[in-house]
């Protein structure tokens, strides 16, 4: 079982690029800063693509391990957050394609009548206030969108990424991002968005216990990679 190394005081305030530089210089512990900084974002983007909490968590781990292995390839042309998010998007889409090959019915799951988002369902135990119910309804409406539109909504409005960063993450041009977001708004219906109390940033929360679990699991996998290699993964 790998032990997570301690982080030096004050390191939490460093910019992403400086953290990357120090990880590459051998301070493996600093990678935890990046994971905790972006756990929420990676969970949201993986969850909205895969629609499954457990798979989203697995994708997060895979994305972090891949990012760690290829950290020396981060060129700084885009923000580190964009580079990392794009890795997570690719991992999630790859997993979704593998799953669809095993279960073709999943590919048809989002093709139903858009009115289905308004159908009643059994409330979750947490849905005991008007605000929670409104947020749940908005999440259900987003879940009903086709994948391309779901992803744009989460990146632009939940994660509040810029149009440019969203385009870079998805590998499309900015015009496509704007068009998809506009169409997504039409699908969601204006009145549905108005019913949601609070900001969209409250959606798809990734809580502390799960955050700790992902960090621990990633460090264990990194330790296994280092133990199984004659040369260290990161110099």
Q: Are 41 and 119 in a shared domain?
A: no
Let me know if residue 1 belongs to a domain: no
- Number of domains making up the chain: 2
CATH number at residue 189: 1.10.10.10
The residue whose two tokens read 């004050």 is 10
Question: What is the extent of the structural domain holding 98?
Answer: 14-109+205-235
pLDDT in tens, the chain (235 residues): 455 556 666 778 899 999 999 999 999 999 999 999 999 999 999 999 999 999 999 999 999 999 999 999 998 888 999 999 999 999 999 999 888 776 654 444 344 343 333 334 444 444 345 567 667 777 888 888 899 999 999 999 989 999 999 999 999 999 999 999 999 988 887 546 555 555 566 777 777 788 899 999 999 999 998 887 755 444 4
Same domain, 56 and 104: yes
**Residues near 206 by beta carbon (within 8 Å), at least 6 away in sequence:** 39, 40, 43, 44
Alpha-carbon distance of 48 to 219, in angstroms, equals 25
In a domain, 8, yes or no: no
Report yes or no on 6 lying in a domain.
no
CB-based burial label for 161 (10 Å; 0-12, 13-18, 19+): buried
Instruction: Assess whether 90 and 18 both reside in one domain.
Output: yes
Taking the CB of residue 83, how many other CB atoms lie within 10 A of it?
21
Let me know whether 147 and 226 are in one domain: no
If asked whether residues 189 and 138 sit together in one domain, one would say yes
Considering the domain boundaries, does residue 63 fall inside one?
A: yes
7 belongs to a structural domain: no
Query: What does the block give as tokens for 17?
Result: 């690029």
Half-sphere exposure of 25 (CA within 13 A, CB side): 8
Taking only Cα atoms into account, the Rg of the chain, rounded to an integer number of angstroms, comes to 19
- Regarding whether 189 and 152 lie in a shared domain, the answer is yes
Q: What is the CATH number of the domain that holds 225?
A: 1.10.1740.10
Per DSSP, the residues of 91-159 read: HHHHHHHHHHHH-GGGGGTT-S-GGGGGS--PPPTT--SHHHHHHHHHHHHHHTS-HHHHHHHIIIIIS
Distance (Å, whole) CA 150 – CA 197: 20
Would you state the structure tokens that stand for residue 113, as one six-digit string? 């009548």
Instruction: Count Cβ atoms within 10 A of the Cβ of residue 178 and give its class: 0-12 exposed, 13-18 middle, 19 or more buried.
Output: middle
In a domain? residue 125: yes
């Amino acid at each position: 079982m790998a032990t997570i190394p301690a982080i030096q005081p004050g390191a939490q305030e460093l910019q992403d690029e400086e953290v990357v530089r120090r990880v590459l210089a051998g301070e493996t512990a600093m990678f935890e800063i990046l994971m905790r900084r972006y756990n929420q974002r990676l969970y949201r983007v993986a969850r909205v693509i895969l629609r499954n909490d457990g798979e989203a968590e697995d994708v997060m781990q895979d994305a972090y391990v891949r990012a760690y292995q290829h950290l020396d390839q981060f060129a700084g042309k885009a923000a580190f957050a964009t580079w990392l998010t794009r890795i997570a998007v690719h991992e999630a889409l790859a997993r979704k394609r593998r799953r669809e090959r095993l279960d073709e019915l999943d590919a048809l799951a989002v093709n139903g009548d858009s009115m289905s988002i308004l159908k009643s369902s059994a409330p979750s135990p947490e849905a005991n206030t008007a605000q929670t119910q409104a947020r749940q309804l908005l999440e259900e409406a987003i879940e009903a969108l086709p994948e391309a539109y779901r992803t744009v909504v989460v990146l632009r409005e939940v994660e509040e990424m810029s149009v440019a960063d969203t385009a870079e993450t998805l590998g499309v041009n900015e015009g496509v991002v704007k068009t998809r977001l506009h169409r997504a708004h039409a699908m969601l219906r204006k009145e549905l968005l108005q019913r949601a109390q609070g900001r969209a940033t409250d959606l798809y929360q990734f809580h502390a216990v799960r955050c700790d679990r992902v960090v621990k699991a990633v460090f264990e996998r990194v330790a296994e990679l280092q133990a199984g290699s004659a040369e260290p993964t990161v110099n």
